[in-house]
Chains A and B, each alone.
Chain A
Amino acid sequence: MAAVEQDTAVRTGAFTRTFIYLVLLLFALFYLLPFFVMLVNSVKPLAEITGGNMLALPDVWTIQPWLSAWSTAQIGVEPTGLRPYFINSLIMVVPAVAISTVLGALNGFVLTKWRFRGDTILFGLILFSCFIPFQIVLIPMARMLGILGLAGSLPGLILVHVVYGLGFTTLYFRNYYASFPTELVRAAMIDGAGFFRIFWRIMLPVSGPIAVVSVIWQFTNIWNDFLFGASFSGSGSTPMTVALNNLVQSSTGVKEYNVHFAGAILAALPTLVVYIVAGRFFVRGLMAGSVKG
């Protein structure tokens, strides 16, 4: 059998192939349509948009909306553009993703290889946190942050996202490590390796795919989160989503749709990049965890 067909479960003829590709292409174009509208309108002068032609290519091409969205658009009283908030989001998302992923890996390791009485019940309880709606924890979380003195700060936001993400990352790593041969861990123990050495030398090196899943999931959720960002951030720690909302929403003001489109694309870019760079590991990692759990 030819190497190309290795992954194909069903053999198909040239005609069927063409048909499948055509349909896929059509769907791809259909799903890209909103992005096309965003892109095309972000390089148009406002008058062309309010003139009524949303789908047409610009008569006059302009990069001004992008410059405005990035550095001069009105987010609050100061015309700062989205830049400072983009940076806030980066400062928030990197540690939050890293900490929640590492803690999730440790939890998964303990729950599968250092089992103790009641560990499944504990795991079940941790899983609960995946199903608690954001809104319910809002007020208790605000109280906690107030007591900790972290209200309205980036560390506070990072803490919130780590706590909220732990359930998911623990689930991922726990299911992934469940299929990892425990004999290898025992052998390492006999060789005198301790908890952290085993984790570092044996578990982590094989955790690539599931780490990618955890990072993509956490990054997307934390970057896109609005409610926590709006509720727990202060004036110096407002994340991108809240700023985008401030840019786009106005009650009684002029709406610069072209700037809004540019801003929305800017806000979506980082998640897009993460998906493109790490996306091919995503499904692989999910599958790896799902076969045995």
Chain B
Amino acid sequence: MRKMSIVAALALTTSLTPAYADMTVEVMHFWTSGGEAAALATVRDAVVAQGVAWVDAPVAGGGGDQAKTVLQARITAGDPPAAMLILGQNILDWAGAGLLGNVDAVAAAGNWDAVLPQAVQDFTKVDGHYVSVPTNVHRTDMMWVNVAAFAKIGAEYPTTWEEFNALAPRFLEAGIMPIAHGGQSWQEMYMFEAVALGIGGADFYRAALVDLDDATLRGDTMVATFVQMAELRGMIDDNAPGRDWNLASAMVINGEAAVQIMGDWAKGEFTNAGQVAGVEFDCVPVPKAAGDGFVYLVNSLSMFAQTDPDRIASQDVLATAIMSPEVQIAFNLAKGAIPARTDVDMTALDACAQATAASFAANDTAGTAVPTFAGTHAAPAAIVGAATDAVTEFMNSDMAPADGATLLADSIAAAM
């Protein structure tokens, strides 16, 4: 009798999962906090629904730096994961080393060339092959605003840096810090790239931080960027050094500070504190003195080359799942970012994300969407590291703006 029921149970499970029985897909990632994990769980659910088992290999830390060490060990042991969350230029590195496979068949069937904006393709398609599958796009030049703080001094949100600078003394007078700042080098780098785009515009940003043109790095616009950074230096409280960005967000939530400059992932902190966009807080782009612009960061799962046909098939299942419009929306509802494909119905997203998605599409078409430098999209990690040291040194001293630009140019030149 018992044997019978086991047989029946087996028959049931196999009949439920005819195509992909016994297949697994191992995904290495650093999404381990609430919203991130919940987002990835939507992908997991879609994969599991196809009968492919999900093997979770989370290694948190340093935006994937720790995972990189682990990955090297795994590759040496001859056991690379099916897919891994890798950022920006690192994808190009792994692809260049011949370690990535591709999901071209799925991409062709899904017409990815048409549904993915060029900005996303730049970091998922290498030498004509889709080596990576994008889950979402983050906007890094975002400003988080305490609505009550602006009401208190009766000011509109600034759209240029001049306006912003004019507001600072009024906030200080009202007993509010103008900027909630986390004094960690990576945060300062995200702030720097947002300021650079705001001061100099997309063409300047590309010349300086993507092409790393020495003359541009030493030029007047770069000095002007550092002049603005020096202004921001004066709007920060004494306790900023070493502060986590989450705690800086808390300052805006509590009304201690007026704004925080941080990527769109900060939204989770605000909603987690029970605040509503448009009521207690607002998300607006970082002021732009030179027209429009958008700094983006693409998250994607890169596919490692496999020999086992089952594993290759499971990668295709994973890729299809990630790119399905339902998952793209569900994923980004949890993650707080915007879908990587621009053809999905965005109405399910909140006001913040909808505005970001619209801005991304517009900037991508206009050619003013630029890849994040701090997030190692615009340049390799070594150069970003050197530049970050320079910017942090500037932010934590009373260095003159012209010297800051020189230091940055020298640091980048030395790292190239």
Contacts and interface: CB of A to CB of B under 8 A. Distances in A.
Contacts of B35: 253-254
A52 B237 CA distance: 14
A74 B33 contact: yes
- Secondary structure at chain B's binding surface: helix, strand, loop or mixed? helix
B48 to A, nearest CB: 10
B33 A143 contact: no
A254 B33 contact: yes
B292 interface: no
B26 interface: yes
Nearest to A78: B56
Nearest to B262: A252
Contacts of B36: 250-253
A246 B34 contact: no
Nearest to A232: B73
B76 A77 contact: no
A234 B247 CA distance: 33
Contacts of A256: 34
Q: Could you say which of A139, A151, A242, A251 has the most chain B C-beta atoms within 10 Å of its C-beta?
A: A251
A143 B78 CA distance: 8
Contacts of B269: 254
B273 A47 contact: yes
B58 A230 contact: no
A250 B273 contact: no
B69 A253 contact: no
A249 interface: yes
Given A151-B79, A252-B263, A254-B246, A230 B69 contact: yes
B40 A77 contact: yes
A142 interface: yes
A213 to B, nearest CB: 31
B184 interface: no
Given A51-B254, A139-B76, A245-B60, A255 B40 contact: no
B211 to A, nearest CB: 27
A232 B74 CA distance: 8
Contacts of B38: 74
B250 interface: yes
Interface in A244-264: 245-256
A76 B56 contact: yes
A207 interface: no
Given A50-B253, A230-B66, A252-B138, A138 B73 contact: yes
Interface residues of B, number: 49
Contacts of B254: 50-52
A227 to B, nearest CB: 7
B295 to A, nearest CB: 15
B94 to A, nearest CB: 17
A76 B32 contact: yes
Contacts of B44: 77
Interface string A232-243: 101100000010
A250 B268 CA distance: 12
A246 B288 CA distance: 37
Interface in B42-82: 44, 54-64, 66, 69-70, 72-74, 76-79
Given A50-B246, A235-B57, A254-B272, A138 B33 contact: no
A52 B249 CA distance: 12
Nearest to B54: A77
B76 A246 contact: no
Nearest to A152: B79
A78 B247 CA distance: 26
A242 B79 CA distance: 19
B72 to A, nearest CB: 7
A146 B32 contact: no
Contacts of B69: 138, 227, 230-231
B164 interface: no
Interface of A: 47, 50-52, 74-79, 138-139, 141-143, 145-146, 151-152, 227, 230-232, 234-235, 242, 245-256
Interface of B: 26, 29-38, 40-41, 44, 54-64, 66, 69-70, 72-74, 76-79, 138, 244, 246-247, 250, 253-254, 263, 265, 268-269, 272-273, 335
16 contacts: A50-B247, A75-B58, A76-B29, A76-B32, A77-B44, A138-B73, A146-B77, A146-B78, A152-B77, A232-B73, A234-B57, A245-B59, A245-B61, A250-B36, A254-B33, A254-B269
